[in-house]
Amino acid sequence: NLMVCTYLPLYSTQVLFFGFGWLFFMRQLFKDYEVRHYVVQVVFSVTFAFSCTMFELIIFEILGALSSSSRYFHWKLNLYVILLVLIFVVPFYIGYFVVSNIRLLQRQRLLFACMVWFTFMYFFWKLGDPFPILSPKHGILSIEQLISRVGVIGVTLMALLSGFGAVNCPYTYMSYFLRNVTDSDILALERRLLQTMDMIVSKKKRIAMTRRQMYQRGEDQNKQTGFWGMIKSVTSTQTGSENLSLVQQEVDALEELSRQLFLETVDLQATKERIEYSKTFQGKYFNFLGYFFSIYCVWKIFMVKFWSQHISFILVGIIIVTSIRGLLITLTKFFYAISSSKSSNVIVLVLAQIMGMYFVSSVLLMRMSMPLEYRSIVTEVLGELQFNFYHRWFDVIFLVSALSSILFLYLAHKQAPEKHMAL
């Protein structure tokens, strides 16, 4: 059957993407946790699969693979599924798992989850009011309403991440910015850390011994009767516990210091490793890329028009691959940093939501980088959205994010060498 033949490569790649999302979930995100609710894994993999398929369809568009009507059909199908997942399925499950974690509401889980979802829909709808994202001739329940709102959220996210990434990537990889960290710096800091731990230990020993003595004396006190016995017991325990609370305060201060020293040591180790990495071949390659992309980003910041559409096509491919990879890495780091065994389900679903919105809006924005002949399909499928608005909105947020990142990194860079001088 002809239909099956043409659609087979598409479906097989979709299954491939699904498998990749599944493996990524199992091996990377959830490698330290047990998967108790398989629905989370399925939802994550489905979101990933359909998002990647959208990119694939753009590539097919440019290459001219499949017939244009089948491409159009798949675009529409994909879009409906993604919107269904991003607006109905994922928010509902996020609400469901959040409610499950709260003990009070656990009995009426479904009811509260539905309530949370309706609140989400209300705010989601309200999002459309301040933005001129639609031409007025669209009805209330059209697909454009949903896409426009998803687009706004996703574009804001993308611009924030791109702005920060544009500034952070050169800063991280370019050796010009790397502070000089020697082994003796690290050793000195580690010695300070261990000294602090020793002080904590000796104070805690005093506390433990005093407490034990008080406990033993307390037993003896119970045997003492009479007026003087009572007075003695009151005064001795009071001075005992006063001393204890004083020492305990010192211990608390020292523990705070030890935590700071630990984090500083980790920071120094990370910088040292980055320096070593920059000397390797991979490091040098990324260093070069850092220079290249920083020039590209500066160019973008000053909004110079590209002179060749074909360069922009290659860049589209690179942008797709690096943004997927970058997003997955960022999501993983974020996940490790904030998740615990209780909240892991909720966080994964939130990440799936962000990922889906990110990919949908990157399709929107990619239209700008695509050669003219290929823009029509995106316009046709997504309806008559005010694309210009999205581009302007992206540029504004990108600028704001990049400038604040520059300020932030400048302050952090300034502070750091002084911190270590004070050792």
Chain residues binding other proteins by CB under 8 A are 31-34, 190-191, 193-194, 197-198, 200-201, 204-205, 207-209, 212-213, 216, 255, 258-259, 261-263, 265-267, 269-270, 272-273, 336-337, 339-342
Closer residue to other proteins, CB minimum distance, 201 or 412 = 201
DSSP code at position 385? B
Residue 39, judged by CB atoms within 10 A of its CB (0-12, 13-18, 19+), counts as middle
Closer residue to other proteins, CB minimum distance, 108 or 260 = 260
The distance of closest approach from Cβ of residue 261 to other proteins in the complex, given in angstroms and rounded to an integer, is 8
Phi/psi at 385 (nearest 5 deg)? -80, 160
The distance of closest approach from Cβ of residue 277 to other proteins in the complex, given in angstroms and rounded to an integer, is 11
The first and second tokens of residue 264, run together, are 């500083």
The distance of closest approach from Cβ of residue 234 to other proteins in the complex, given in angstroms and rounded to an integer, is 21
The distance of closest approach from Cβ of residue 255 to other proteins in the complex, given in angstroms and rounded to an integer, is 7
Closer residue to other proteins, CB minimum distance, 12 or 341 = 341
Closest CA to 320 of 16, 58, 87, 98: 58
d(C-alpha 113, C-alpha 117), whole Å:
6
The distance of closest approach from Cβ of residue 156 to other proteins in the complex, given in angstroms and rounded to an integer, is 28
- CA angle 204–206–212, rounded 5-degree value: 100
Closer residue to other proteins, CB minimum distance, 32 or 418 = 32
d(C-alpha 406, C-alpha 167), whole Å:
6
**Torsion, CA 78, CA 80, CA 82, CA 86, rounded to 10:** 180
The distance of closest approach from Cβ of residue 256 to other proteins in the complex, given in angstroms and rounded to an integer, is 10
Closer residue to other proteins, CB minimum distance, 193 or 382 = 193
Closest CA to 47 of 355, 263, 415: 355
Closer residue to other proteins, CB minimum distance, 265 or 353 = 265
The distance of closest approach from Cβ of residue 186 to other proteins in the complex, given in angstroms and rounded to an integer, is 9
Closer residue to other proteins, CB minimum distance, 116 or 268 = 268
The distance of closest approach from Cβ of residue 267 to other proteins in the complex, given in angstroms and rounded to an integer, is 8
- DSSP, collapsed to helix, strand or coil, labels residue 134 as strand
Closer residue to other proteins, CB minimum distance, 76 or 342 = 342
Which own/partner contact pairs does 59-65 have at CB distance under 8 Å and 24+ positions apart? 59/317, 61/374, 61/377, 62/313, 62/316, 62/370, 62/371, 62/374
